[in-house]
A and B are shown apart, each in its own frame.
Chain A
Amino acid sequence: MHDVAKHDDSKGQYFWVWGALLFLTGVEVWLGYRQIFEPVRMLEVLLVLSVIKSALIIAYFMHLKFEKAIMRWMLVIAVTGCFVIMYFFFFPDADRILRLGVK
């Protein structure tokens, strides 16, 4: 039987992660109001912050950091690969349809 994921059980780190997530949310709201970037750049910056936040949630709250390496890598590579395919195949194709029209 495989126990529930065992790891460093100091609860303090989860409060730190929670604080970091709230802080990053505050940064996002501040950036949203300041509008210091043009929309495409803003989209990129917000996406980078979202990826950092989601990495914290996946690693600590979802405990993936404490799973076996094969499980970590299988999940990360599979999901990231699918998103890369979506980005590099679907996005340009949608753009092509918009610019050229459906033939």
Chain B
Amino acid sequence: MADAAAVQHGVPGEYEAPLFGAYSKKVGMWLFLASDSLTFGALLFAFSYNRIYTAWPTPFGKESIINATVMTACLLSSSLTMVLGVFAAQRADRTWTRLWLLATMAFGTAFIILHAMEWTHLIHEGLSLPAFPKPAGQLNSEYTKISTGVPQFAATFFGLTAMHMLHVTIGVIYLGVVALRKWFLPILGGLWLAGFLLIPSDNVFHYLVNALLIGLVVAAIILFLKPKDYDAHDVEVSGLYWHFVDLVWMFIFPLVYLMSTKI
């Protein structure tokens, strides 16, 4: 690690103190998160614009709101376990660091599963995009009328939540690499294979689960080309990314779900 090398071989005063008082990885992650926030910002502005200037449907009933609230609680709790993981890493307590990271991943995975179940339910009810496979026995409900009458609703809903779900998935893989290193690769491969074989082909997640395969390839390249023992800095930087994912959901949940609540 560059910072460690600076300490071991540096002469006092040889290296100029960094402007931001933080190691480079952390500054880099902050800059990435700042740029990524603009991506979500643009999507949320587009959503808000459509929400205000369109006769917006309000289809989400009690079931969807309760589901989304539980998902929110999962993400908030995952942020707490992530903070505890960072503290454990600062104490150089490897066991607890790994356990807290695994707890964070468990909450993140619960969020993804709940979200996927909700997507599947909505698509089966008729809220869909032209690119999605048509499930067998699709109902002709209020959602079907929304998909045809106000196509912006399905486009913004699936666009925003898919982008966020992708970030959560990347976050879980990132934490898995930091917590388990090469041991995580077979787990990720098994998850992809199970998802690909078990999810029926008329379900959109039969195709989206391939994101795990891409994640597996990228993680394998990183782990084999630059194997290292991840330290407290790495845990803190991965935590920044995870908290950002949580932060973005704090805007998506009220705007997408609560602003479309059926009374």
Indicate if the CB atoms of B259 and A42 lie closer than 8 Å.
yes
The interface bits of chain A over 31-74 (1 if a CB of B lies within 8 angstroms of the residue's CB, else 0) are 11101000110110011011001100110111100011011001
Chain A residues with CB under 8 Å of chain B are 1-2, 4-5, 9, 11, 14-15, 18, 21-22, 25, 28-29, 31-33, 35, 39-40, 42-43, 46-47, 49-50, 53-54, 57-58, 60-63, 67-68, 70-71, 74-75, 78-79, 82-83, 86-87, 90-91, 94-95, 98
**Using a Cβ cutoff of 8 Å, how many contacts connect chains A and B?**
142
Indicate if the CB atoms of A33 and B30 lie closer than 8 Å.
no
Contact A39/B259 with A25-B69, A91-B49, A98-B53 known, Cβ cut-off 8 Å: yes
Indicate if the CB atoms of B258 and A32 lie closer than 8 Å.
yes
Chain A positions within 8 Å of B30 at CB level: 71, 75
Contact A61/B79 with A70-B20, A71-B20 known, Cβ cut-off 8 Å: yes
Docked Cα-Cα span, A83 to B38, in Å, equals: 7
Report, as a range, how many residues of chain B touch the other chain.
35 or more
Determine which of B72, B83, B247, B261 lies in contact with A54 in the assembled complex, contact meaning CB atoms within 8 Å: B247
Indicate if the CB atoms of A46 and B243 lie closer than 8 Å.
no
How far is the CB of B248 from the nearest CB of chain A, in Å?
A: 9
Q: Is B86 an interface residue (CB 8 A)?
A: yes
Q: Is the interface of A mostly helix, strand, loop or mixed?
A: helix
- 24 A-B residue pairs with Cβ-Cβ distance under 8 Å, sorted by A, are A1-B4, A2-B3, A4-B236, A9-B87, A11-B83, A29-B258, A31-B258, A33-B263, A35-B261, A39-B51, A42-B259, A43-B48, A47-B254, A57-B243, A61-B83, A61-B246, A63-B236, A68-B20, A70-B20, A71-B20, A79-B34, A87-B45, A91-B49, A95-B49
